[in-house]
Every structure is written in structure tokens, then in C-alpha cells.
Amino acid sequence: MIQPRMAVATLAALSLPLVFAVACDDHTVTSAACSDRSVISLPACPTEDGFSDETCQSFDDRTANGQSMANDTRAPSIAAPTEGQAVAGTTPFTFQWMAPTSLRWRVPAPRALTLADEWRRWTTLVPEAQAHCPPFSGRGYDLIFRSGDQVVFRRQQSGTSWTPDAAAWARLRTAASGGALALTIQTATFSANLIPSGSGPFVQSTPRRFTITP
């Protein structure tokens, strides 16, 4: 006869690999996007910005799970480009936006790390240059550029303006050759690389459309 304590221990041992597998599988969906520099731009951490690959994982996990919410009062306000603006393609354009003003900004208190958090932390494959960035706390932004229904490029950071480098600008210009681009910017407030409940991401209900001239 199996003793109760032995049964509990056996069940825990059997369930542990399952927890690891779920965490790893959930992470696999997002890790490729955050490490693929052909489709996403991240700042140089920590010299340029504290936002890192690990912070990107939290953004992508929430978005992939359908937790990005359209809320104009809690989403950033896009200042440039204006709606329908024809942006000159000869030099990279500086995109600008403002933080939401409906709520007073504060960094949420850190929550305790779960087993899945620890597993993700130790199994995340990030570029060596960003592998030792300190945990990010504060407001982060995710710029999403679309051509039709297809995401053509993204930029994540904590600042409120971004000027693409030559490679990113070339990609946007190529995408814009087929017509107008649509830009949405979602935001979330992070605590040690994680997004606490109720802290986002929040995104505009209507994208900002613009074109890039040859």
C-alpha cells in the first residue's frame, strides 16, 4: 500500500517536468521574436536604455496571450507622424509619442518570482551583450509597424522618441512601397522585467497611418 506522503511526493515529482515544459513551451513562442534583429529593434542595454531582451519577453508573452488592451486613456499619444503624413524617405524619421496622462505613474511593487519565472530566466537564450542587463522597472513602449495585417517591424524601449538606424529605416521604406503603414504603440509598466496585473499592455484603439515618400 502506498503511503500518503509517498503518493504526494511522487505526484509532485511527476508534475514538475510538466510545469517546466509548459513554461518552456510558452517562452518558445516569444523568444524568437525578441532575438531576431531583422524584425525587432531593442536599445543597447544598459548604455542606451535599460530595456532589454528579458523585458521584451514579458511584453511578448502578454501580447501573445491576448492581454494587450485597447484603451486610449491609458495608451501613449502619438505626436509624430501625424495622421496621413507623408514622411520623406531620404533620411530616417524621428517617431515621437507621449506617455498616458490619465493615471499617475508609479512603479508597481515587485511580486514574488514563480517557478515558471525562474525557469524562463535560466533558459532564455539572449544575446551575450544583453545577458547581464539589470532588471528593468518603469514604463516601456512597443512600437508596432504594419503593412496591411502584417507586422513588418517593431521597436521596444523606455524613451518617448525613436530614430531608426539605417537598416531599420530601409526595412520600413521597403514595406511602405506597397502603401501606407500603420503604427500602434502599446505601453506597460514593468517591475523587475515583469508586468504586474493591471499594468498593461495598453494600446490605441485606432492606428496612426502614414506614408514614406521615395
pLDDT at 115: 63
Nearest one of 158, 130, 126, 131 to 142, comparing CA atoms: 158
Cell of 174: 521597403
The predicted-structure confidence for 59-115, as pLDDT tens digits, reads as follows 999 888 888 999 999 999 999 999 999 999 999 999 999 999 765 444 444 555 556
The Cα 133–Cα 143 span in angstroms is: 21
b/e 171-188 (16+ beta carbons within 10 angstroms → b): bbbebbeeeebbbbbbbb
The predicted-structure confidence for 8-21, as pLDDT tens digits, reads as follows 444 344 443 333 33
CATH class entry, domain 4-213: mainly beta
Domain boundaries, the chain: 4-213
The pLDDT of 121-143, averaged and rounded, is 69
pLDDT at 38: 86
pLDDT at 34: 85
Which helix or strand (DSSP H or E) is residue 96 part of? Answer: strand 95-98
pLDDT at 118: 53
The Cα 17–Cα 116 span in angstroms is: 11
